[in-house]
Structure 1
Amino acid sequence: MKKLFLILFAIILASAATKPVAAQVVDGPYQKKITRDRKPAPLPAVRESDVFWSKTIWRIIDLREKMNQDLYYPTREMHGRLSLINLLLKGIKEGQITAYDASTDNEFKLPMTFDQVKEAFGAVPKVVERRNFETGEMENVKVDQDINPEDIKQVMVKEVWYFDKQTSTLQVRIIGLCPIQEFFRDDDVNHDRPLRRKVFWVYYPEVRPLLAKYEVLNPNNDSRSLSFDDVFLLRKFDSYITKESNIYNNRAISQYATGQYATNESRRIKNEIFNFEQDLWEY
């Protein structure tokens, strides 16, 4: 009996030795660990008594612009990198961050589940007619729809500009991000009339730890790339203002101006914020 056990043990060892062992694949000369262990840079504390002027601004980042394409690509995961929208969806699906309803207001009141996010994308199950190959009869079948992250063409940013009298500087804090989906109606066969809708809001201070762990591509140096959090903190994106806080229920510029007038109004708000700090000084 003991000899039989030894023979079986030897056979198991021999078979294990003949199996190929998969090598640990490192896509490069070293394994990247610094980025995934990175934490968001701490921001200075702000006291309410030190802020004597502030203005809430909403702006649009168009991901189709050349300067902003590092937030749009890659459309699928490559070398551990994700696009901004894919990263946000990953965080929502895994429960790392919370999505908030964007259909009613911009105040982060109503949390959303991942299924509700899919519904906001329009990725709801559809009933299609298919033939049953067993019976040969046509029947209605429910088909699940997937989210298409490439439909996100813009990102709305809610931020607060404020003057800190303790440091005598004009500062800005991002409050939230809202992906905007571009879609077409079913009857718009030629896709001539694109429509847009806000999908969900995320609270930026909650999202920062996730954004700090993922890099955007540096086209000049792969080993020195900024994180998504760095891109937003350093303002390395192009955008235009669409709304400022006002007494008219925070109405958007598009509600009272169009075309070149809307562009001029956006620039007026931008210059007003810039000139506020400059006008405090005497030269």
Structure 2
Amino acid sequence: MKTKLFLILILFVGEISALTAQETARERIERRRQHTVQQQEAGTNIRMEQKNRHNDESIENAKWSRIIYRYLDLTKEANAPLYYPVTPTNGKISLFTMLFNLLQENSIPAYEYLDGREEFTEDYRVNFKELLDRFGIYYETVDGKIVINDIDIPGNEVEGYFVKEAYYFDTANSSFRVRPLAICPVLQRRDDYGSSTRYPLFWVSYDGVAPYARHITVMGSSLNNSMGGSIDDFFRMRKYDGEIYKVQNPRNLSISQYTSTPEEMKAEQERIEQELIDFEKNLWKQENHSFVPQQREVKSRGKRKSPASSSGISMRDRRY
């Protein structure tokens, strides 16, 4: 009799544990659902924002443009706002957590990282479950839905981003512009021997991410904690510090592919940076194109005009 009671008690405890685990998973789903509703309420006009975001001249029609690829190292102080908080804290999340949640909710598409090019087509669209399996990210499946605990999102391992930028001259507005076009989170994993390997996860179009990024705040300065802004502000205002690893070119080569040493690569990066700076500076060099007519000397019967009273304009001073 005691043995039967003992077995019944074990079964009862097991059922309660399973039920509790199931309820925990359901609670996660409900929390995700509420988060999605909040995002939808906050971004009612997100699709309209995406359509009306750029009224300026498209890059394809620009008179001058250059596509630049940078790597943002999140261990650098300037890029730290994109990394923290590693785990969602008090309603604050990092850039990667935002991207991860959007992919899980199927709010934005992501595309495979291909070596040397980006293909934003359905053929290369990322399957979220396959992404989780490929990189060993733990998840549960409850009622056909993928449930992931915040602590299992590998935000701590995403230590960098590839950023694709467009530098171009907008002739419609007579202005020099820099726009982020796409971003790619880079996972960095270390083995037992201390060596690390970078794994680019996926590309996302920045225009698709921007409406959500405007609602995610970051700390703008460690010296002035009142200075803040959104992730979108951080990218639009170019507050990040990233080294150039590639410039769009006919052979589609990265800088490391056509330089031989780290010193050559560094010199090439600095040369490209200086070219971008010089181009922008040269646009705003004001030249006086006004024509100053030569003044005829008026002869007077009185005193002769002294040299000091002349206009002082010489051929060297004139600009045509």
Instruction: Tell me: CA distance 1:245–1:48, structure 2 relative to 1, closer, same or farther (3 Å).
Output: closer
Displacement, 1:165? 2.1
Residue of structure 1 equivalent to 2:112: 101
Alpha-carbon distance in structure 2 between the residues aligned to 1:60 and 1:49: 24
The equivalent of 1:4 in structure 2 is: none
CA contact (8 A) 1:103 1:198 kept: no
Flag the structure with larger Rg: 2
Q: Going by fraction, where is strand more abundant, 1 or 2?
A: 1
- Kindly provide the CA deviation profile for residues 53-109 of structure 1, in whole angstroms up to 9, marking residues without a partner as x: 111110011100011111101011112110111111011101111111113532323
Moved more, 45-54 or 60-69: 45-54
Which runs of 5 or more structure 2 residues have no equivalent in the other structure?
1-38, 140-151, 288-320
Q: Which residue of 2 aligns with 1:262?
A: 265
Amino acid at match of 2:256: S
Q: 1:190 aligns with which of 193, 217, 222?
A: 193
Match of 2:131 in 1: 117
Contact 1:152–1:180 (CA<8 Å) still a contact in 2? yes
Measured in 1, the distance between the counterparts of 2:174 and 2:73 equals 32
Which residue of 171, 184, 203 corresponds with 1:165? 171
Q: Which has the higher contact order (CA 8 A, sep 6+)?
A: 1
2:204 aligned with 1:202, yes or no?
A: yes
Moved over 4 A (4+): 36-41, 47-50
Match of residue 77, structure 1, among 73, 88, 108: 88
Matches within 5 A, 1:11-26: none
Helix, strand or coil at the partner of 1:100: coil
Distance 1:255 1:157 in 2: 19
Distance 1:260 1:49, change over 3 A: closer
Q: Tell me: CA distance 1:70–1:277, structure 2 relative to 1, closer, same or farther (3 Å).
A: closer
Q: 1:228 to 1:49 in 2, by over 3 A?
A: closer
Number of corresponding residues = 225
What letter matches 1:269 in structure 2? Answer: I
Q: Secondary structure at the match of 1:182?
A: strand
Q: CA deviation at 1:197?
A: 1.9
Change (3 A) 1:275 1:83: same
Alpha-carbon distance change, 221 to 194 in structure 1, aligned in 2, over 3 angstroms: closer
- Higher mean C-alpha deviation, range 237-246 or range 158-167: 158-167
Aligned twin of 2:215: 213
Q: What SS class does the counterpart of residue 189 from structure 1 fall into?
A: coil
The aligned residue for residue 129 of structure 1 is none
Residue in structure 1 matched with residue 254 of structure 2 by the alignment: 252
In 2: Cα distance, 1:263 partner to 1:80 partner: 40
- In the aligned structure 1, how far is the partner of 2:171 from the partner of 2:161? 31
Tell me, yes or no, if the aligned pair for 1:180 and 1:196 is still in contact at 8 Å: yes
- 8 A contact 2:59–2:65 mirrored in 1: no
Work out the CA distance in 1 between the residues paired with 2:153 and 2:88: 15
CA distance in 2, matches of 1:230, 1:237: 11
Q: Conserved in 1, the CA contact under 8 Å of 2:56 and 2:172?
A: no
How far does the alpha carbon of each residue in 1:133-161 deviate from its partner, in whole angstroms, 9 at most, with x for none?
Answer: xxxxxxxxxxxxx5522111110001111
The amino acid that maps onto 2:188 is: E
- What does 1:35-50 align with in structure 2 at a 5 Å threshold? 36=42, 42-47=53-58
Check the 8 A contact 1:178/1:199 in 2, yes or no: yes
Give the distance between the partners of 1:120 and 1:203, measured in 2 at CA: 22
Q: Which SS does the other structure have where 2:219 is aligned?
A: coil
Q: Determine the C-alpha separation between the residues in 2 that align with 1:118 and 1:261.
A: 38
Q: Deviations over 1:171-211 (max 9, x none)?
A: 11111000111123xxx4221x2111211011110111111
Does structure 1 conserve the Cα–Cα contact (< 8 Å) formed by 2:56 and 2:170? no
For residues 74 and 48 of structure 1, what CA distance do their matches in structure 2 show?
A: 34
Going from structure 1 to structure 2, the CA distance change for 1:260 and 1:48 (only over 3 Å counts) comes to closer
1:228 equivalent in structure 2: 231
Percent identity between matched residues is 32
Q: Which has the higher helix share?
A: 2
